[in-house]
Chain A
Amino acid sequence: MIVRPKVKPVLAYLALVVPSSLVLLGFLWLLITSFSTRTEGLKSLGWTLHNWRFLWESPFGPGYPSIWQITLNTLLMSLIMTVIVVVVSSMTGYALARMKFPGRKSFLSLTLILHAFPSVTLLIPIYFVLLWITKIPLIGRGVPLLGGFGYNTVGGVALVMVAFQLPFGIWIMKGFFDNISWDMERSALIDGASRFKVWWQIIMPNIRPGVAALSVFSFLTAWNAYLIPLTFTAGRAGKSVVLSLYLQNFISESVMTEWNAVAAVGLFQLIPVVVFFLFTQEALLNIYGGGRKGGA
């Protein structure tokens, strides 16, 4: 029995294919250009691997950090952000879904307001907050690997991104907590387990799909981020902290003929995202679905 009514298929596919082709052309161009000496449209005028030499020598000249250093920074920042977002969102989401406390209602309204509120508008004062954090001894500048949590550090950029992502994360996680039966939890509580133990050992293993969805989403957001690293780091061209900035600096430094090399760097940043996405698309496409309750 066919329940889904059928549109005239050819017309339907055409309506989907024509606009999507613009995106596909863009991806195709990136692939072709990065392996070409020159291109006209999508036509390569000669194939080469020369564009990929940034992998072993900095295109900005000697003395600048290698792409691998930048990639490591980006990976580190993305991982830190993902871990903090998932842990903090789960803690807060759990408290909001399962605990009774004075101020719960206002906290929920606050989360919802923050979720809708465009944090980008607060970039200017956040710059000052980061400057203050920089002045705190140790936390500001002295953390190994991250540099610290103040202005112009990997940790600082990650922290701002966590704050921006948090309302969304809490909202998503609360939705997942709401959907688990509370019988198990109740019996564990009667047996005398602490709330923390119940959360970590009994509830968290049950919301793996939620953790997966939020992790994937946060990781991609961090890996792709441009505006926040741009605003809160002050590297000279080529001394960029993360891949997005490295690429953008490379674009603004290059003359027209270097576009092929730029495309290669772009592809370098894009490949992990696409591979990652192909493996996780189901979790990702459902993420807004998880927040549908109470939203749309």
Chain B
Amino acid sequence: MRGQLAPYVFLSPTLVLVTLFFFIPLVMVFILSFTNLDMTNFGILEWWSPANWSLDNYIKIFTNRFFSKILGNTIMYVVLTLTVFNVGLALVIALITTHINRRAGFAFRVLWFLPRITPVVVYIMMWKALAGPAPMGIINSILGPLGIGSGKYLLNTNPWVFIILANGFIGASFGMILFSSAIEAIPKDYLMASKVDGATTWQTIRYVELPALKWPLLFVTTYQTLSLLTSFQQIMLLTDGGPGLYQTEVWALTAYHRALTSYFGNTQWGYGAAWSVVLVIIGIVMAVIYLRVFKFGELVEEPKIDQL
């Protein structure tokens, strides 16, 4: 009898929090997306009643004249950041830091972790200082004397470069940690054997280390795709979708802008929710895929403790 209820006592705080901040919101975001709830009719509109539901918001999204611009921005942002930094650079750093002196390698990994733990507002402030116009901007003050560049504010001339750099420097550390611990976990015998066989460093990387990275690579790619699709904090602080009209506006930022920041003193919760729903669906689908692909069996092994 003892222990019948115990598990649920242990689980109850999580259940309460998950219900409050996940289940209820998940249901609500779908319902809200079918309504035109905003600041003006809040408290008046019965958004929970199906009589007030329609597909208008979704029609509005697809007929929005900036729709293709926003979609294109999102795809470009995700693909470039992911391939160049979150996977590409992360892999390069992981491979180099595991092939050089152990302590130096660790020091570099610590250094690359800094962007992730720096408060985001401070971090973006640094990037703005780097991009600043001559003579204040750091990059301009270095390139100027060499005769390169126009000395203009680089966030206005090349906003995408800086968005991808700023996000990529944060994103690279995730892959770096996973890849380097996977490399460190390769049995030393394998490396020894390839060395005895006279393999060059490149051959060792290509035929011993990269095959061992197959799963981490797949995991980082899919996981980071989802993170990038839904991240907008850095873009919001860096350019807020500008400098040109919708020049750097991505999907997730649009949802936030529509629903929670008021350009014209009017926050359109329903319309914003419709923008989020698309991301919510992508999120659910991808999360379920992880469950199927990534060794779920190992996780659900029955606990031995109860088989006394």
Contact = CB atoms under 8 A, between A and B. Distances in A.
Interface of A: 1, 3-7, 9, 12-13, 15-16, 19-20, 22-27, 29-30, 33, 39-43, 87-88, 91-92, 94-95, 97-101, 104-105, 107-110, 112-129, 133, 159-160, 162-164, 166, 170, 182, 185-186, 189-190, 194-196, 199, 220, 223-224, 226-227, 231, 243-244, 247-248, 251, 259, 262-263, 266-267, 269-270, 273-274, 277, 281, 284-285, 288-289, 292-296
5 A-B pairs with least C-beta separation: A41-B141, A26-B126, A163-B21, A125-B28, A118-B230
Interface in B26-69: 26, 28-29, 32
Name B's interface SS.
Answer: helix
* Most chain A CB atoms below 10 A, which of B2, B22, B279: B22
Nearest to A43: B141
* Most chain A CB atoms below 10 A, which of B110, B115, B119: B119
Interface in B113-149: 113-115, 117-123, 125-127, 129-130, 135-138, 140-142
A175 to B, nearest CB: 9
Contact of A120 (B20, B231, B296): B231
Interface residues of B, number: 116
Contacts, number: 324
Contacts of B164: none
B22 A248 contact: no
A289 B195 CA distance: 27
Contact of B17 (A15, A166, A182, A189): A166
Contact of B29 (A16, A122, A133): A122
Given A185-B305, A281-B110, 14 more contacts: A3-B188, A4-B191, A15-B92, A23-B115, A27-B126, A29-B130, A30-B129, A40-B136, A101-B7, A110-B18, A117-B287, A120-B231, A220-B117, A223-B119
Interface in B165-192: 165, 169, 174, 177-178, 181-182, 188, 191-192
Interface stretch (B72-80, B96-104, B242-250): B96-104
Interface string B275-308: 0100110011011101100111011101111101
Name A's interface SS.
Answer: helix
